[in-house]
Amino acid sequence: MRVQLFGTCMVDSFYPEVGDATVRLLEHFGVEVVFPPGQTCCGQPAFNAGYRNEARGAAEHFLSIFTGNDPIVTPSGSCAAMVKHHYPELLKDDAKLAETSRSAAGRVYEMSQFLVQVLRAHEKVFTGSGKLTYHSSCHLTRILGVREEPLLLISALQGAEFVPMPDAMRCCGFGGMFMAKLPEISCALADEKAESIMATGADTVTGCDSACLMTIADGLQRRGSGIKVKHLVQLLAEGL
Amino acid sequence: MSEEQTSRNFRANSAASIADSSLRAAMKNATDTFGTRRTAAFGAIPDLEALRDKASEVRMQVLDYLPQYLEKFTANATSAGAMVHRAHDAQSAKELIGSILKERGVKMAAKGKSMVSEEIGLNAHLEAAGIEVVETDLGEYIIQLEGETPSHIIVPAIHKNRQQVGRLFADRLGVPYSEDPQVLTKIARKVMREKFLAADAGISGANFAIAESGSLVLFTNEGNGRMVTSVPKLHIAILSVEKLLPSLADLPTFIRLLPRSATGQAITSYVSLITGTRKPGEATGAEELHIVLLDNGRSEILAGECREMLKCIRCGACMNVCPVYRTVGGHAYGWTYPGPMGMVLTTLLTGMEKSYPLVDASTLCGACVDVCPVRIPLVDLILKLRGRRISEGFSSSREKLGMRFFGAAVKNPVIFYWLERVSRLFWPVIQKLSGKNVAGRLPEPSSKPFHRRMP
């Protein structure tokens, strides 16, 4: 099986190790990973701020890079949701692009979704350790509807204890441009999220979106917490 | 609403709220309680999703045929003995109500909870005309004593704790300090009872109006709504035009949804249906009933791309779950309606110029969409309004320039990767320029970005 990997701009700049872990995991399961060159950003910063023309440009570029019929896999629920739900709507007025966007929407997977639904990775055993808690990202959960997949993968981490986080689905405060436009509120939300995490007694918090994990890491750091923050693909790759 | 709209100061308002620890504790406590109760109340409803579909459909049908339903309601309410008035805007509604009261020599009016009356600033208008207005909903009474506006559409004094209410009562009413809610309620009840009996008129809102029967529907818990609408000889009800339901047969859907969404109750203590004036042989009811149907910008919203906002039944569920509202409280939004429904409605009703910073007040998390009983696509509406802010010229030139750059770079990997590299090189400068609360929260960019690790 072959997949196209969409690294995302957050991973490209700030968390390349999440990209590395994604590749390691996919290859471990015998998947050939193609990284289509020239990929940039899915366009959410513009889309979420109301700049539809700029977002449309990002969508057209994405679709010109991710061609063919292979599944598109990305370690971000938010970026997958953008491609799956917002591209077809953004490009609906151009018949050809609308068709292309629907095709991309039909083959895009967030990584935990791909691991469970296609590779059935949750039926394998990974080595885990310590006490884990999980943040359920908004777009992953509410737009993509990915609720169970990350939890199934966490329970495949043998040796790790899972502690649910209170209000796991409450927003971390990132919100894209929101964190820059209303930083006081964004920080207050990150602080509240950090407190929920600290209340679990976990030593590691995980999730499926680097932007949320970044916000969480910042909240924890401001509270002087030593709780580790790791993307789920990192925990799984470490446990191979 | 006696104060000026301050929605443009949303960021400063919210920063002040965040610094107020008792406000934050009160908000967290109350919104958590309502959220938990709502979830528990819907646990017993197996067909919730179908019920929400139905409610959305009924509300949409009303909006699609609003002029016809309004005509039908007016005819039926009139034949039941009510006088139905249409008010185009806030000013004409206030003048109309003021003149009805003046002509009848009313000195004091007892008032039930009405967000529409807050929207038009009715109390201030009547008081300026020499008419005393007494709020009889406990929460409204508390904020009236304090000289504040509601900070939640269902729970107007949600931002206050019982100690604050105790001190307020001791100060203003000269009663001994108590923070026992039962004692405080008893004090308020005693004050209000006297007012009800002395009032020459009752003013109320309405949750719904039934086109087919000409009835008003009120959901209340404290009994004050029933007193206001049935004890004084004169009753004036004010509601916005979109509050109609086609027929009584539609009401059960909303009886099941509204109290559960709002307070987590299976049903409110009182559900009152008022059809016209007191009939011969009836013991209660107003002898004169005026119904004021307020437009105040609704027709314009109805004709635009955000018309689904008018499906709203004012349950407040969206604000209880909104991470932003929970954190900053209702006053930060700077006008009558707060939270997700409020940021959309305020922008639509008062215009972009007075409210443009409000459209940022969402992380787009979608928690509001999860709970809306009539399926208003709030996130989509917020995105539409963000787009409209740009086209109406209220976004900053810095943002527009930044987005133009982004738009060009995102289509061109050479520029995109070059910008990544430049920002890596100048990271300390970027962190400094954007402030510690923005780029200061991001980690340092990697020296070897992912695309350079891939073949």
* Extents of the domains making up chain B: 7-298, 397-452
For A110-137, b/e burial (b = at least 16 CB within 10 A) is bbbbbbbeebebbeeebebeeebbbbbb
Residues B255, B266: Cα–Cα separation, whole Å = 8
Torsion sign, CA atoms B224, B227, B232, B234: positive
pLDDT for B194 equals 87
Residues B253, B356: Cα–Cα separation, whole Å = 35
Residues A43, B407: Cα–Cα separation, whole Å = 8
Residues found in chain B: 455
Please, what is the Cα angle at B381 between B361 and B408, to 5 degrees?
Answer: 80
Contact A19 B454 (CB under 8 A): yes
Residues B389, B145: Cα–Cα separation, whole Å = 37
Residue A174 with chain B: CB contacts under 8 Å: 363
Nearest Cα to B151, choosing from B52, B243, B14? B14
State how far the alpha carbon of A157 is from the alpha carbons of A109, A123, A164, in Å.
22, 10, 15
ipTM exceeding 0.95? yes
Nearest Cα to B113, choosing from B243, B190, B222? B222
Residues B112, B300: Cα–Cα separation, whole Å = 28
Which residue bears the tokens 């680097």? A210
Contact B451 A175 (CB under 8 A): no
Of the CA atoms within 13 Å of residue A136, those in its CB half-sphere come to 20
Show Cβ contacts of residue B209 under 8 Å, excluding neighbours closer than 6 positions: B73, B77, B215, B216, B217, B239, B243, B244, B245, B291, B293
The amino acid at A147 = R
For domain B7-298, give the fold.
Rossmann fold (3.40.50)
Residues B451, B150: Cα–Cα separation, whole Å = 52
**CB nearest B14 (choices: A39, A182, A214):** A182
Residues B280, B437: Cα–Cα separation, whole Å = 68
Residues B114, B120: Cα–Cα separation, whole Å = 10
Mutate to test the interface with A, among B450, B451, B452, B453 (most CBs of A within 10 A): B450
State how far the alpha carbon of B446 is from the alpha carbons of B226, B443, B449, B450, in Å.
66, 9, 6, 9
Residue A218 with chain B: CB contacts under 8 Å: 441-442
pLDDT digits (tens, 9 = 90+) for B373-428: 999 999 999 999 999 999 999 999 999 999 999 999 999 999 999 999 999 999 99
Show Cβ contacts of residue B255 under 8 Å, excluding neighbours closer than 6 positions: B267, B271
Residue B406 with chain A: CB contacts under 8 Å: 45-46, 51, 54
Tokens found for residue B15: 């920063």
**CB nearest B327 (choices: A13, A188, A217):** A188
Query: CB count, 10 Å around CB of B118?
Result: 22
Interface of A with B in 74-103 (CB under 8 A): none
Query: CB count, 10 Å around CB of B190?
Result: 11
Give me the domains of chain A, ranges plus CATH numbers.
2-116 (no CATH), 122-238 (3.40.50)
pTM of the predicted model, to two decimals?
0.97
Contact B367 A184 (CB under 8 A): no
Contact A183 B449 (CB under 8 A): no
pLDDT digits (tens, 9 = 90+) for B16-67: 999 999 999 999 999 999 999 999 999 988 899 999 999 999 999 999 999 9
Alpha helices for B132-250 (secondary structure H):
138-146, 162-173, 181-198, 224-230
Asked if B222 and B269 count as a contact pair (C-beta separation under 8 A), the reply is yes
Residues found in chain A: 240
Residue B3 banded pLDDT, cuts 50, 70, 90:
low
3-state helix, strand, coil in chain A (%, to 5): 55, 15, 30
Residues B203, B94: Cα–Cα separation, whole Å = 12
Strand segments (E) across B67-107:
83-87
Residue B450 with chain A: CB contacts under 8 Å: 7, 11-12, 15-16, 19-20
**CB nearest B407 (choices: A7, A46, A138):** A46
Does the pLDDT of residue B246 top 50, yes or no?
Answer: yes
Residues B212, B277: Cα–Cα separation, whole Å = 17
Contact A189 B399 (CB under 8 A): no
Contact A40 B424 (CB under 8 A): no
Residue B395 with chain A: CB contacts under 8 Å: 50
Does the pLDDT of residue B2 top 60, yes or no?
Answer: no
Mutate to test the interface with B, among A10, A13, A139, A186 (most CBs of B within 10 A): A13
Mean pLDDT of B74-95: 98
Contact A171 B367 (CB under 8 A): yes
Residue B439 banded pLDDT, cuts 50, 70, 90:
confident
**CB nearest B441 (choices: A37, A181, A218):** A218
The amino acid at B283 = A
pLDDT digits (tens, 9 = 90+) for B183-232: 999 999 898 888 888 999 999 999 999 999 999 999 999 988 999 999 99
Residue predicted with more confidence, B160 or B434: B160
Mean pLDDT of B437-446: 90
**Residue B45 backbone dihedrals phi, psi, to 5 degrees:** -110, 105
Per-10-residue mean pLDDT, chain A, length 240: 97 98 98 98 97 98 98 98 97 97 98 98 97 98 97 98 97 96 96 97 98 97 96 98
Residue B1 banded pLDDT, cuts 50, 70, 90:
very low
Minimum distance, in Å, between the CA of residue B355 and any CA atom of chain A: 15
**Residue B109 backbone dihedrals phi, psi, to 5 degrees:** -120, 135
Tokens found for residue B169: 């009562």
Residues A69, B159: Cα–Cα separation, whole Å = 54
- State how beta strands B270-275 and B215-220 pair: antiparallel
The answer, for A110 touching chain B at a CB cutoff of 8 Å, is no
Please, what is the Cα angle at A53 between B10 and A143, to 5 degrees?
Answer: 70
The answer, for A199 touching chain B at a CB cutoff of 8 Å, is no
